[in-house]
A and B are shown apart, each in its own frame.
Chain A
């Protein structure tokens, strides 16, 4: 076994026992990057030099007896997480040369704990998309089939972990952007509760929905990572002052008496690929065999989730992205007239999907339409959150597919944004309600494409899905399968 193939848990043990050094592990990861990155295009910026220095420092800290979950572990970051002195582009031309003068709270926490940062990875521009094809810089390929999308918007992160180019990668999830690419690439992806991980230094897309979370090879690793990143941060006004548990304490075997909810509206949804439906049914059987009780629940307002999301997210985005006007920082196109400078800068700086969403958001917030669109979407959001509250009275966790279809071919849906939006149907509701969700591998199609299983829990009950996901991975080996690249 190559060192780059290790999980965080296994690497942790070997590092702490001095069987391997962080420098060796990091070098192994960069050898892997040299080998497969040319075929996959996951990275926007590779930080080899600084990573090797961080690894040396980590080895010193280990020899001094320091113990943290990510000490000496190579991790990568979606390129919308601010890194002091390292370019942070959001995969957009408008931030092509932006070098943040500060670290995001997440990055501060990673550095404090001695993690090794391998680089910044590709994404849909400003996290808007489900395929990573909206990047201004490159097209990231799915390692299971390089003619297919890796999912998005955190496609680079999913590919990075699936192809062993980092042991962990951090992404963000606004409507499924961690869970969907994790599902498409056969890795574990956790979207924590809204407010669980600080958003300070995460470039904003839709502030009431965005949440940072990890891509890992196992659920156990996700729990270990959460011990470094899941804490209250006074710098983020929406960071929730909840007690921080030891997330690894939930990794105990046994599902006896746990009520697993199957969502009626998701089973009845049109267009679910039969192979995905089959894999989900088999996953239900795994939980049954572990002693869980299966109950049916209803989320009656599911049909309004995607429409509500595609009003709320673009509205917030149109407001958040107003700051990119060429005045203080970012790309500027010089013109004699100020208003033309704004227009030229924004038109050349933003890609097609970002412009579409800004226009939709601006329209939904404009005088005369506000109540019909944004106001109504916010009320529907309440209905969706109430649906979950009722469902969680009957079930401890909810189980569903992550996506209706396996990863589609590159270019297949780029001209049809609405069809692309509909692929978010199973993931979007969790963001609207602010609840945590995890995607774990639960099968492969006959074409050898990964299928993901989604588990959801009430807000700040990450422990429940970590436990369920851990139990699932103790019984199955889908998470151990790797693509041949």
Chain B
């Protein structure tokens, strides 16, 4: 066993996911299967091998800091739950 039910629950909490108790058993066993399978990676000899984050040899690309055609704040907030004057109105995050 690679991962326990408690660990699945804890990781789900970190990812802000709720797992209903009746789904827990099945999910934990599927995740354990997958993690046991990917654990075969440990067998690969990666001494002196550099990691690849992406396949292109690109480094950060910057542009000139000039104003271009942009969406505009009114349009950018069109999909939000609530907006005010081109700004997102979000749920209260600080307790009073």
Interface residues of A (CB under 8 A from B): 98-102, 194-195, 207-208, 234, 237-238, 240, 301, 303-304, 307-308, 310-311, 318, 322, 325-330, 332, 338-339, 341-344, 346-347, 350, 352, 355-356, 358-360, 362-363, 366, 372-373, 375-383, 385, 417-418, 421, 432-435, 459
Interface centre among A208, A326, A362 (most CB of B within 10 A): A362
Q: Known contacts being A380-B41, A380-B46, is A208 close to B18, with CB within 8 Å? A: no
- The complex places the Cα of A10 from the Cα of B42 at a distance, in Å, of 52
The secondary-structure label for the interface of chain A is: helix
The reply to whether A382 and B50 contact each other, CB–CB distance below 8 Å, is yes
Known: A343-B16, A362-B14, A418-B34. A376 touches B54 (CB 8 A): no
Q: Which residues of A contact B79 (CB under 8 A)?
A: 98-101, 328-330
The distance in angstroms between the C-alpha atoms of A310 and B46, with both chains bound, is 18
Please give, as numbers and ranges, the residues of chain A lying within 8 Å of B19 by CB-CB distance.
347, 355
In the bound complex, do residue B60 and residue A359 qualify as a contact, i.e. CB atoms below 8 Å apart? no
Q: Are A99 and B78 in contact (CB under 8 A)?
A: yes
* Residue from the list A332, A347, A362 in contact with B81, Cβ < 8 A: A332
- Name the CB-closest residue of A to B45: A383
Which residues from B are CB-within-8-Å of A352? 27
Minimum CB–CB distance for A123 against chain B, Å: 20
Q: List 16 A-B contacts (CB under 8 A).
A: A98-B79, A99-B78, A101-B75, A208-B53, A307-B38, A307-B40, A310-B34, A327-B90, A328-B90, A346-B15, A376-B41, A379-B50, A380-B44, A383-B46, A417-B33, A418-B33
What's the Cα separation between A98 and B39 when bound, in Å?
38
Q: What 15 new A-B contacts, CB under 8 Å, besides A311-B41, A338-B91?
A: A102-B75, A208-B53, A240-B56, A304-B43, A304-B44, A308-B38, A327-B88, A327-B91, A338-B93, A362-B11, A376-B46, A417-B33, A418-B33, A421-B37, A459-B56
| Bound-state Cα–Cα, A435 to B56, Å | 10
The answer, yes or no, to whether B80 is at the interface (CB within 8 Å) is yes
**Residues of chain B in range 15-72 having any CB-CB distance to chain A below 8 Å:** 15-19, 27, 30-31, 33-35, 37-44, 46, 49-56, 58, 60-61, 63, 71
Residues of chain A lying within 8 A (CB to CB) of residue B71: 101-102
A379 adjacent to B38 (CB under 8 Å): no
Cα–Cα distance between A237 and B38 once the two chains are bound (Å): 30
| CA A127 to CA B10, docked complex, whole Å | 26
A332 to B89, CA, bound (A): 13
Collect the chain A residues with CB atoms within 8 Å of residue B54's CB. Answer: 194, 207-208, 238, 434
Closest 3 CB pairs of A and B: A434-B55, A378-B51, A379-B46
CA–CA, A240 and B61, complex, Å = 11
Main secondary structure of the interface of B (DSSP, over half): loop
- In the assembled complex, the CB of A356 is this many whole angstroms from the nearest CB of chain B, namely 6
Smallest CB separation, A119 vs chain B (Å): 20
Closest Cβ–Cβ distance, residue B18 to chain A (whole Å): 4
Q: CB < 8 Å: which of B11, B16, B53, B58 contacts A363?
A: B11
Q: Please, which residues of chain B bring their CB within 8 A of the CB of A350?
A: 17
CB proximity of B51 to chain A, nearest CB, Å: 3
- Cβ–Cβ < 8 Å partners of B90 in chain A: 327-328
- Asked whether B34 lies within 8 Å of A194 as measured between CB atoms, the reply is no
Task: Provide the bound-state CA to CA distance between A208 and B44, in Å.
Answer: 22
Give which listed residue, A237, A310, A338, contacts B92 with CB less than 8 A: A338
Contacts A362-B11, A376-B42, A380-B44 given; does A342 touch B80 at CB 8 Å = no
For B81, give the chain A residue with the smallest CB separation: A332
Docked Cα-Cα span, A363 to B17, in Å, equals: 13
Q: Contact check: which of A98, A304, A359, A382 meets B8 at CB < 8 Å? A: A359
Find chain B residues with CB under 8 A from A318 CB.
Answer: 15
Contacts of B55 in A (CB 8 A): 194-195, 208, 385, 432-435, 459
Distance between Cα atoms of A308 and B52 in the complex (Å): 11
**What CA separation (Å) do A325 and B18 show in the bound complex?**
13
> How close is A32's CB to chain B, nearest CB, in angstroms?
33
In Å, the complex CA distance between A308 and B40 comes to 9
When C-beta atoms are compared, the residue in chain B nearest to A417 turns out to be B30
Look across to chain B and name the residue whose beta carbon is closest to the beta carbon of A334.
B91
Closest Cβ of chain A to B77, distance in Å, is 8
Complex Cα distance A149/B78, Å?
37
List chain B residues, Cβ under 8 A from A329: 79-81
B17 touches A238 (CB 8 A): no
- Give the contacting residue for A234; candidates B3, B49, B63; CB below 8 A: B63
